[in-house]
Amino acid sequence: MTDDEDTVIEFVPPLIALLLHSEREKGSALTEDEVIAVRDGATCIRSPRTVAEAMAERRGYDDLDPERVWEEWQEVRTVLNPE
């Protein structure tokens, strides 16, 4: 990785997977505070943007934006974890 290469922060595993697991383990919808706690306690790495994009493509989905995690989780959770 060169100094001028664009890097991004990635969650490992992705936030979507962490939140889905947490919600299934809880047995009900996570609260906003719980979603934020999962995000804040998650492991992150810094990687080149090109690597992050390739990982998302291989995974088949983009991860949630950590700055909008609550809003984006509300959009995808019902598809991934219908009640």
The range of the structural domain enclosing residue 52 comes to 7-80
Residue 69 resides in a domain: yes
Nearest-CA neighbor of 39 among 72, 80, 61?
72
Q: Does the residue 24 lie in any domain?
A: yes
pLDDT > 90: percent of the chain: 86
- Total number of domains constituting the chain: 1
Cα–Cα dist 67/71, whole Å: 9
2 found inside a domain: no
The whole-angstrom separation of Cα 46 and Cα 52 is: 9
Residue 66 lies in a domain: yes
Question: Which residues have C-beta within 8 Å of that of residue 56, sequence separation ≥ 6?
Answer: 62, 63
27: left (phi over 0), alpha (psi -120 to 50) or beta: left
Per-residue model confidence as pLDDT tens digits over 36-75 = 999 999 999 999 999 999 999 999 999 999 999 999 999 9
Would 35 be classed as within a structural domain? Answer: yes
Query: Model's pTM, two decimal places?
Result: 0.86
Evaluate whether residue 1 is within a structural domain.
no
